[in-house]
Amino acid sequence: MSLGHSRSHAIALANAASLLDDAPMRVFVTGGSGFVGGHLIERLVRDGHEVVAMARSDRSAERVASYGATPSRTDLDRVGPTHLEGCDAVIHAAAHVEEHGSREEFWRINVEGTQRMLDASKRASGVLGSAAGVKRFVHVGTEAILLNDTRDLIDVDESFPVPKHHRFLYSETKAEAEARVLAANDEELTTIALRPRLVWGPRDETILPAIARMVDAGSFAWIDGGRARTSTTHVHNLVDALVLALTRGEGGRAYFVADDGTRTLKDFLSALAATRGIRIPNRSVPSVVLRPLARVLEKTWQVARRPGPAPLTPFAVCVMSRSVTIRTDRARRELGYAPIVGVDEGLRALANG
C-alpha cells in the first residue's frame, strides 16, 4: 500500500468513525484507580458511556465506583473474557511504573498483563467463538520506550525506531507490551497505542509529591541546571486523546500525545511546584558525575537487597538530564487530536485548585 493511500485510508476511517463519536459505549478500563484512569473514567461517564473498571482490592473498587464506574473484581493475573462481557472497547492504562522492581515483576505486570488483556479481548471479540463484542483496544503507552540514555530525543515522531536493547526495565517491558498490542490488530479487534510524555495535572500522585518530598528533605538538585527540554502532557489532554481513539485512528499504529510547545525541565517543574507554594532551590549537579554514581548506588541496593529504590537511580538521572520532545502530527491528523488544556491554563487551574 502506498504512503498516500495509507494516509487517505486513515482519514477515511477517522471521518467514518466520527459519525459514531456520540454513540454510547460500554468501556472496560484497567488502572482506573490511578491518576490517568480516574480522570478517564470521569470523562467517559460524563460523555454518557458506561464504564466497567478493573479493581484488585476493596479500596480500588471504592475508588473507581466514586468516579462513576462499575467495579470488576479481578486483576491482570486473572482477567478473562467473562470480565469483558458486553463491553465494546478496552482502555488499558494499568502498568508497573515504579523506578525499582525485579525483572519478573515488570514483565508479569507490563507484558504478561497486557497479553492477558489482549487475549481476553480477542476472545470477547468473537475471534474464539464468544458472542461478546470487544472491537477496540486502546493501550496507554509511553515515550520512555525510546529512552536509552545515550542521546537526546528532539522532535521525534512515530517513525523513530524503538531500540532493540533497553537499559531500563520499565522501557523494555512497556516497549514489548506496545509491540504486542500493535501486532494484535486485525479485522476483529482494532488495536491502538498512545504515547504521552510527562503526564501532569490535578490529582497527580507522582511528580509533585516527589518534588515536595525532596525539597522538604533538602535533597533536591537539578541535573545540568535543568536545561534539558521536554514535552509534557496534561492529563485532560491525554484523556481526550484516549476518548478520540475509541472511534478514530488506524489500527496497529502508535500515536504521540503532548501539550503544545516544549519547555526546559527547570522552567516547567519550577512552575508546577509553585502551584503548591513550593520553591525549588537552584542547586545543580552535572550528569557526568551522577550517571556513574547512580549505577553504583543501584547495584549496591540490589546486592544488599534493600527495600525500595536506591536514593538515586540511572532511570531518574536519564529522565532529568536528557531532552525529550515529541511531535503530535499523526495524532492531530488521524485522531483529530488538539490539546484542550494549555500549559499556562493548566498551571493556573492547579494553583487555584
* Among 121, 173, 118, residue whose Cα is nearest residue 144: 173
Q: Strand, coil or helix: what is 234?
A: strand
* Among 197, 205, 245, residue whose Cα is nearest residue 91: 245
Q: Which helix (H) or strand (E) holds 188?
A: none
Residue 284 φ/ψ, nearest 5 degrees: -140, 150
Number of helices and strands (H, E) in the chain?
Answer: 13, 15
The amino acid at 262: T
Rounded-to-integer distance, Cα 247 and Cα 347, Å: 30
Torsion sign, CA atoms 227, 231, 233, 237 = positive
| Cell numbers found for residue 222 | 537539578
* Residue 170 bears catalytic tag: yes
| Catalytic residue positions, numbered | 170
